[in-house]
Each structure stands twice: as structure tokens, then as C-alpha cells.
Chains A and B, each alone.
Chain A
Amino acid sequence: MRAFDYVRATDTREAVRLLAEDPAASCLAGGTTQLDLMKDGVLEPPRLIDITRLPLHGIERRGAALHVGALATMEELAADATVAARLPMVRESLLRGASVQLRNMATIGGNLLQRTRCRYFRDPTVPECNKRTPGSGCAAAQGAARMHAVLGASERCIALHASDLAVALVALDAVVHIQGPAEARTVPLTEFYLTADESPQRENVLEHAELITAVEIPLPSAAARSGYLKVRDRASYEFALASAAVLLVLEDGMIRQARVGLGGVGTKPWRAYESEHVLTGASATTATFREAADAALRDAWTVPGTAFKVPLARRTLVRELQTVSEVTA
């Protein structure tokens, strides 16, 4: 690990000012991505600004939304009473997202900003990585791809966004609260991320001196049913090969409202609007679910190692639509 200067910020404005002063500085929160990538030599910030003591830890109900401080941990959010009662897909995505140790460290803001697990990105001795070195190529697209993306992917980059939580949050239309040097702003999570085929090196719209301060999760109507299904290589403590976050409002066998997020397949946490268009207003049947799943994966871009993800993601989504709707016919 390269040497760095460590500074502990005590309030949010100070943290933003420190960031603005140094274009190469990085924030340190839970550290589960940041320190790991620094040990691997992928990130080499000369200055780390420890933000863990900023007053951004609270989780509170504000009207029809849950306001989650950016420094709340994954474990704290999973244990929240409102999350347990009203946001089951958030709870499930968190509990399946990491070990308890990591959940006690990793923050909600950090979870949204986590970097890809692509082994080529994480190995600086591999020269071809458009994410690390723009214009250098993509070793993964030519190499041993498996834990990689098929949506928002191209020969430029197939790096997967591995967050489970963010998949549930894009489905729920969560909003990111951001503090910058001059002003605060909010960005819908569905507009927060960029896909790797657009810009491998830039993953989201956050500017250097901006800090995520909170995530606002609108609470779904009481009539909504929802769930999160994660398919992986082992039963626990593993990244998704495919996952589906589903929310449905049903009325007399008809789908009044549908929200679908897909994980394990996208270069960003994937909102499957195409599936929602098929589902909304249709009758809740397995035939409808299959059509919705086909629509979500229609634009998939695969290499030999990732081709299996297309049918797997389709089946994962169909299964979760069946589970949430309790319709298996």
C-alpha cells in the first residue's frame, strides 16, 4: 500500500471542503472496498479523509419515506423496524449481501459506491482495463469472464456492479442526497449510475468533492408485495450470479403496479423497465412473467463465459414473480 495522509473529518462541510482542496483525496467510511483496493494497488490516494465520525448515522421515518443516513451500516439498516415491516426486499438484499462482520463495517453510502469485483480491474498488473486506464481495452471480455455483466456491457467493459442493496433500491425509486462544496442536490438512484458501455471509467454522476449524505427510500403502498431472490454459487456469503428484486400490486388477478430490479447481470444496478411495461395491466400468469423476463434480457451482450447468465436471469426473475404473486400457473 502506498503511503497516505490520514485526516479525520468532524463535520460534513469540513469533509467536503477537504475533498475539494485535494483532487486526489479519497473518503474512507467502512473501508471494505477502499482499503481492499488500496492493498491491491488499484487505488493510491495520497490522502484519506475518514468520514466515519460525521453525524450521518441516523435512520428515521419522514412521512412516507425512510431517511437513511449515509453512514448507517448494512447491519443497522437490516435491523430497522420500518425496513422489517415495510421494505422486505431491502432487508433481504442486505442480509444476503455480505457476512455479519462486513455488514457491521460497510455503510449504505459506501455500498452504493462499491467498486466492481472484476478480477482484471482488481489486478494492476493486467494492462488492459478501460476502467483503470481509459483506452487500454478490456481483458475480461477476452478472458475468463464469469462473474461479469451482460446488460449495459460491451467489448469496452463487462464489469459487474455487485451490490444487492442497490438493486432493491433502484426498484423502489430511492433518492440519493448529495452535499457538494457550494450546494446540496438530490439524484434519483435510477439516474445516479452510468453503464460501462457508456463510460467504463466513470461509474456514477457524483463529482469529486461531493459526498452522499443520505438515501431516501419511499415506502411502498400497504397493498404492495415484494421480495428479493439471489442465486449464487454457494448458499451464503457469495456474490450474485443473478438476482431479482420484485414489487407487485395485484388486484383481482391483474397487475396494477410492477417494479423490477435485476442484479448479478448489469454494469449498474439494473432497473428492468421493459419488464414493468409487460407486467403492468396484464394478468398475473406465468406466461406473462416469462414474457416480462424475456423483455428484460433482450439487449443482453454476452461473451462465452457469461452466456449462461441470460437464461439464469430470466428464470430467476420468473421465479421471484411467481413467489411474490403466489401465482405458479
Chain B
Amino acid sequence: MTDVASRRDVDERPAITERVVTLTVNGRPHTLRLDTRVTLLDALRDRLGLVGTKKGCDQGACGACTVHLDGRRVLACLTLAAQAEGRAITTIEGVSGADGQHPVQQAFMEHDGFQCGFCTPGQIMSAVALMAEGRAGSDAEIREFMSGNLCRCGAYPNIVAAIREAASQGGHDAGL
């Protein structure tokens, strides 16, 4: 537990710090050679070109990097790419079906659930999961279980309205 014990000089660093990792993203496998430090977020954005998932705080506080791992919403910035191996990864690029947008995406547009749009992919990934969790029963419930997604533009009332409408249309059946 002591931090002193976990420090070493540079010349004692391990020689091999790369790893071949196969990530299954939106149903497609991708095999990458990655530095062990690469997070799932950086692998998605910088190696696979899936830039819909956003890097906000990069320390687990803002929710902009929310993706689904085996159907559960998690933060890609605090997940190592190596940890996501063998798991089903879903990003914002994977939620819309062949027939166009996911009902939550449509509702965000109809209700103006964003201003600058930077937090929006994370909001939508969180909202899709929230409906699958059965937690869109009231505005209070939506606010509580969306509290891990910050919006610096303050579009919260419209985000809640969008989720309320998507949930009332049974949108939880789509996307997951």
C-alpha cells in the first residue's frame, strides 16, 4: 500500500510494455499492438478513428467518455484497453441501427438536448443504458441516474425532456 514502495528508477522499468489486444467494437473485432498504458478511450479515438466518444476530464468525473462494456455503461478513460479484451464494446457509432438514428438520438435533436454537443455522445450512451436499467420512471429518477454525465452548457432540462420522451416511446428496446 505504501506509495514509496511503488516507485522505481527509470532504468528499472520493464522492458516489454506493449501488448497485442483484440477489441470487439460495435460487433467488429480489431487487433492492435498497444502500449499497456493506452486506455480504451484512446484506443477508440486514436487507433480506431471512432472519435464520437469524447475525452473530457480524462479522470472519471465528467462522463463524456461513456461507452457500454457487455451492455453496462462504463467510463472508457479509466479502463485500460487490455481490460476490455474479450468484452463487447459499444460506442455512440454503434447505437444507431441500419434504419437511422436511435430513438434517444432523435429525442435529443427534437428537444434540443445539447448546445455545444461535446458531452452529447456520453449523455446518449448513458441514457440508452439508463432506459435498459429501468431507471427512466420519473424526472427525479432520470436526474439521479444521469448525474454522472456533466453538461457545461447546462442543457439539463432539455436532456431530461428528451430521455422522458424516448422512454415513454419504449425506446429501451432499441440499441442494446
Which A residues are within 8 Å of any B CB, using their own CB? 1-6, 8, 23-24, 26, 28, 31-32, 35-36, 39-40, 42-48, 50, 52, 75, 98-102, 104-105, 113, 131-134, 201-204, 206, 208, 235-237
Q: Which residue of B lies closest to A210 (CB)?
A: B1
Segment 102-130 of B: residues with Cβ below 8 Å from A: 126, 129-130
Most buried by A among B19, B69, B72: B72
Name the distance in Å between B100's Cβ and chain A's nearest Cβ.
27
Majority secondary structure of chain A interface residues (helix, strand, loop or mixed): loop
Bound: A206/B2 CA distance, A: 11
- Is B74's CB under 8 angstroms from A4's CB? no
Chain B hits for A1, CB < 8 A: 37
Q: Which residue of A lies closest to B9 (CB)?
A: A46
Q: Which of A23, A35, A48, A102 contacts B39 (CB 8 A)?
A: A35
Q: Which of A8, A24, A201, A237 contacts B8 (CB 8 A)?
A: A24
Name which of B142-150, B157-165, B167-175 contacts chain A: B142-150
Q: Which of B5, B17, B78, B130 contacts A32 (CB 8 A)?
A: B78
Q: Which of B59, B82, B130, B144 contacts A50 (CB 8 A)?
A: B82
Name the distance in Å between B88's Cβ and chain A's nearest Cβ.
14
Q: List 30 A-B contacts (CB under 8 A).
A: A1-B37, A4-B14, A4-B36, A5-B14, A6-B80, A24-B7, A31-B80, A31-B83, A35-B39, A39-B58, A39-B59, A46-B8, A46-B14, A48-B80, A50-B83, A98-B148, A99-B63, A99-B147, A99-B148, A101-B63, A101-B126, A104-B69, A105-B78, A133-B4, A201-B3, A206-B1, A208-B5, A236-B147, A237-B147, A237-B148
Counting chain B residues whose Cβ lies within 8 A of the other chain, the interface size class is 35 or more
- Is A201's CB under 8 angstroms from B2's CB? yes
Name the distance in Å between B74's Cβ and chain A's nearest Cβ.
5
B96 within 8 A of A: no
- Is A100's CB under 8 angstroms from B73's CB? yes
- Is B17's CB under 8 angstroms from A5's CB? yes
Known: A5-B36, A46-B12. 15 other contacts (CB 8 A): A4-B17, A6-B36, A24-B8, A28-B80, A35-B39, A36-B78, A40-B59, A99-B147, A100-B73, A101-B63, A102-B60, A104-B72, A104-B73, A236-B143, A237-B148
Chain A hits for B148, CB < 8 A: 98-102, 237
- Is A44's CB under 8 angstroms from B75's CB? no
Bound: A74/B72 CA distance, A: 13
Name the distance in Å between B95's Cβ and chain A's nearest Cβ.
16
Name the distance in Å between B3's Cβ and chain A's nearest Cβ.
5
Bound: A236/B145 CA distance, A: 9
Closest 5 A-B residue pairs measured CB to CB?
A99-B148, A236-B147, A5-B14, A237-B147, A6-B36
B35 within 8 A of A: yes
Bound: A26/B145 CA distance, A: 32
Q: Which residue of B lies closest to A38 (CB)?
A: B37
B91 within 8 A of A: no
Bound: A4/B144 CA distance, A: 37
Name the distance in Å between B80's Cβ and chain A's nearest Cβ.
7
Segment 35-80 of B: residues with Cβ below 8 Å from A: 35-37, 39, 58-60, 63, 66, 69, 72-75, 78-80
Bound: A48/B19 CA distance, A: 13
